[in-house]
Structure 1
Amino acid sequence: MEVKRSLTLAIADSDQEYLQSIGQFLRSSEEYKRYQVKFFSNEERLAAYLTSRTKTDVVLSSSDIHIDDELLEKNIRYHAVLSDQPDENTIFKYQPLPQMFRKLVNQYYARNRPIAGAMTGEGKTQVLTVASASGGTGKSTLAVLLASTMASQQYDVLYLSLEEFHLTKMFFQSDEDIDSSPVFYYAKAKPELLDESFENYVVTDDATGVHFFQLADQGSDIRELTAKDTEVFIDAILASEQFDFVIIDGDGSLQDRMVGAFKKSHYILQVLTNDIRSYEKTKQFLEEVQVLTEDPGIDRKIGFIINKFLGEDIDAFEPYGIDIQARFPYVPEWKLVTEAEQLYNSALFMDQVRELFKLMTTVRSNDKVASG
């Protein structure tokens, strides 16, 4: 099963024959697999479609189809205008269709970074938060496997669980007899000492090489972190420049510490399961994240993943406008997992994790080559 990344595309033109010709082209070509496409011949139906979704990736419309400014700002990631005449600022509607779609996709990605682009922020260390709006999605499993995969590629990776009741000890162990809990005390009470002290509380997993904090299973120190405490803590990690990646295993609720983590993240992986409740909770979760972080553009650094996927997308989920970027298979044996080694036994799942990691680091690697 390959990582699937399809763009949501709405094409609007009053010329229905033209729309039919595009539809015939897409259905008969490989291009069809790249898009979730809808066609509209009037602006009312287009507006109704756009308002029913969180975001549509690309809207391609002729000049006679009016789109409200508010929809352009809030509901569309990229809007292109169809033109009867060749123009570098528009999409010429009578050019060969393969060429037209290449231009359209290139323009979209020039303005909206894919996963890899979102992981190339300034500085050495990149912060990736794995989150979920509901329990039972396998969020922690994905975070652990992603951290381990990165470490296996010779990256320095720090795993940090912000769950109050976490399973760090199940996944990572170290012979180093260190209690890492004081780092949170410094973040809350003596942030000026954090930069020079937190390195003393980082330990390394003997099996994978992933760095982590050894904490008590029930983390009252974690529970009491404010958004500001969390930001201070992550800033200290970034300032150390010791790590290539920080993988934050997020709490399932929107506690203050998660708001701080979202603000400091270069990228957020939102994990769902393939059922309507997960989609509905995710939609509500994201609306609240925008409010609490005071960042209406935070959706630009969020990617969506379905875990425990059984092989079939459901049409009823389409109105939610959630663009799924990867689908990870259901592994029933993991219900009985008691140690990290058992997670690596699913070759299919691990292949998906490696593909996701490759996608996230492609641009980052290219940047290193270019700068070297």
Structure 2
Amino acid sequence: MMKYQLGVAVSDTEYLRRLADYIRDSKYSEQWQIVAFTHSEACKRYVKQGYKLDMLIAQPVLLAEIKPMLPKLTVIALVLAFGESTEEHELQQYQPLPRLLQRMSEIHARSKVLPGQAPTLEDRAAGTRVLAVCSASGGTGKTGLALHIAHAASLHRFRTFYLNLERWNSSESWLGTNRGEDFQKQEARKEEGLSELLYCLKTQSGQAGKWLLEHRKRDALLGADYLALCTNLEDRLTLNEEDTAWLLDAISASGQYDLIIVDMDSDLDGTHISVFEKSNLVLWVSNSSASARQKQNMVLRYGEQKWDERFTRMLGKFTYVDNQAISNQTVGIREMAEGDPASFQMPEIADWRGASDVKLLSSPLYRAAADQLFKQLFLEGEGMIAER
């Protein structure tokens, strides 16, 4: 079932939390994802940032301020008594929540079947954000950061897909029920994954969404979905710009995800360019070593030389992260000193230094920092309560 984005604008924070808790624990969680706002400006910023709402329910005074930005959206006035607003649809705010949700869903069901209102693949894809995580060199902790951000997203109720596009993808070592299984055993299982989805896209593109829903895997610890390794490693080595764009479009158009996190190679080629163009944000991961910084500068110069304006237009999406930079026990991300290219610092975890087998999510300090980074990237906005 496709989930719809429900905007709720009410000044009473406790009411918003009770409504969000009820939806989360009821059958309505299969249909609705709630994004709650305590004032109209937060809702306006949310819409201006490109996020999509399928319906808005709000107190009349807030609705009057928000509605001009959403002229085609189905709206419901949440009133104390009928007749308080001039809206076509009114619901009483203080009534049993099951009845409120039932009436709200009925209004939505009627409105979405009007001519021209059925959601297209483009509409569904527009609601999905894409975050690329990349690096100019190996050993910067790029994959660890990507997985921690996926975990943070799931904690904030973002339906998340983790897509590893590294040439030599070893992510199954810590993902899924076979965490810790060696690569030879993983390869022997030959589970259908990225290779088969790419084949489906090229031969039966209309069935790609259905294939994805049937073959995606779930990691309970991360709270995110992902695909099994390529059964044919050549498929990843020959992946091109067009294939990459098709792949991201297929995952987005499934309507199942709020966020796709793409874990990229330590390189820069056509696949990267395609991902960057599809991405809303790009995290470029480095560390404080002179070698890593030098490689980062060289790769960025190469991008500008090879793709010229096409590449420079993407640089506005880039956020630079200095991983393993904070050696003390201060939780969080600090802005770097003036003149430093990095925007954020992540903590160095002493127990991970030199370890050959790092247990996923084993550091509360790093988890907290990744959560703060996620919130700054996706949930910033005074007055906005993101209940997913």
Please give the TM-score of this superposition, normalised by the length of structure 1. 0.59
Match of 1:324 in 2: 342
1:23-47 alpha-carbon deviations (Å, 9 max, x no partner): xxxxxxxxxxxxxxxxxxxxxxxxx
Check the 8 A contact 1:179/1:201 in 2, yes or no.
yes
1:94-126 alpha-carbon deviations (Å, 9 max, x no partner): xxxxxxxxxxxxxxxxxxxxxx99975662211
Q: CA RMSD in A?
A: 3.4
2:163 aligned with 1:165, yes or no? Answer: no
2:217 aligned with 1:203, yes or no? Answer: yes
Of 226, 249, 257, 1:212 maps to 226
2:253 aligned with 1:239, yes or no? Answer: yes
Q: Secondary structure at the match of 2:132?
A: strand
Check the 8 A contact 1:117/1:363 in 2, yes or no.
no
AA at the equivalent of 1:345 = S
Match of 1:351 in 2: 368
Match of 1:8 in 2: none
1:124-179 alpha-carbon deviations (Å, 9 max, x no partner): 21100100001110000000111112112222110011111112212211489952
Check the 8 A contact 2:327/2:349 in 1, yes or no.
no
Check the 8 A contact 1:129/1:262 in 2, yes or no.
yes
**Cα pair distance change 1:252/1:158, threshold 3 Å:** same
Following TM superposition, by how much is the alpha carbon of 1:322 offset from its aligned partner in structure 2, in angstroms?
Answer: 4.7
- Percent of pairs with identical residues: 23
Distance in structure 2 (CA, Å) of the matches to 1:251 and 1:357:
21
Q: Secondary structure at the match of 1:148?
A: helix
Following TM superposition, by how much is the alpha carbon of 1:365 offset from its aligned partner in structure 2, in angstroms?
Answer: 9.2
Distance in structure 2 (CA, Å) of the matches to 1:144 and 1:118:
28
Of 355, 361, 367, 1:336 maps to 355
Distance in structure 1 (CA, Å) of the matches to 2:368 and 2:289:
24
Distance in structure 2 (CA, Å) of the matches to 1:327 and 1:367:
25
Following TM superposition, by how much is the alpha carbon of 1:336 offset from its aligned partner in structure 2, in angstroms?
Answer: 2.6
Of 245, 256, 263, 1:249 maps to 263
Match of 1:128 in 2: 131
Return 223-232 or 181-190, whichever deviates more. Answer: 181-190
Q: Secondary structure at the match of 2:312?
A: coil
Distance in structure 1 (CA, Å) of the matches to 2:252 and 2:143:
22
**Cα pair distance change 1:310/1:362, threshold 3 Å:** closer
Return 199-208 or 357-366, whichever deviates more. Answer: 357-366
Check the 8 A contact 1:273/1:306 in 2, yes or no.
yes
Q: Secondary structure at the match of 1:298?
A: helix
Check the 8 A contact 1:118/1:266 in 2, yes or no.
no
Mapping of residues 16-35 of structure 1, within 5 Å: none
Q: Secondary structure at the match of 1:297?
A: helix
AA at the equivalent of 1:336 = A
Listed as ranges, the gaps of 5+ residues in structure 1 are: 1-115
**Cα pair distance change 1:332/1:245, threshold 3 Å:** same
Distance in structure 1 (CA, Å) of the matches to 2:356 and 2:49:
31
1:285-327 alpha-carbon deviations (Å, 9 max, x no partner): 2233344382422111100000121559xxxx989x5532211
Distance in structure 1 (CA, Å) of the matches to 2:242 and 2:48:
23
Following TM superposition, by how much is the alpha carbon of 1:246 offset from its aligned partner in structure 2, in angstroms?
Answer: 0.5
AA at the equivalent of 2:157 = Q
Match of 2:278 in 1: 264
Q: Secondary structure at the match of 2:360?
A: helix
Check the 8 A contact 2:152/2:371 in 1, yes or no.
yes
Q: Secondary structure at the match of 1:199?
A: helix
AA at the equivalent of 1:333 = D
Distance in structure 1 (CA, Å) of the matches to 2:217 and 2:48:
28
Distance in structure 2 (CA, Å) of the matches to 1:119 and 1:248:
21
Distance in structure 2 (CA, Å) of the matches to 1:168 and 1:118:
35
Q: Secondary structure at the match of 1:248?
A: strand
Distance in structure 2 (CA, Å) of the matches to 1:324 and 1:244:
26
Q: Secondary structure at the match of 1:345?
A: coil
**Cα pair distance change 1:310/1:149, threshold 3 Å:** closer
Check the 8 A contact 1:304/1:322 in 2, yes or no.
no
Match of 2:192 in 1: 179
Q: Secondary structure at the match of 1:323?
A: coil
2:303 aligned with 1:297, yes or no? Answer: no
Q: Secondary structure at the match of 2:148?
A: helix
AA at the equivalent of 1:327 = Q
Listed as ranges, the gaps of 5+ residues in structure 2 are: 1-45, 53-125, 179-188, 329-335
Distance in structure 1 (CA, Å) of the matches to 2:273 and 2:257:
22
**Cα pair distance change 1:262/1:365, threshold 3 Å:** farther
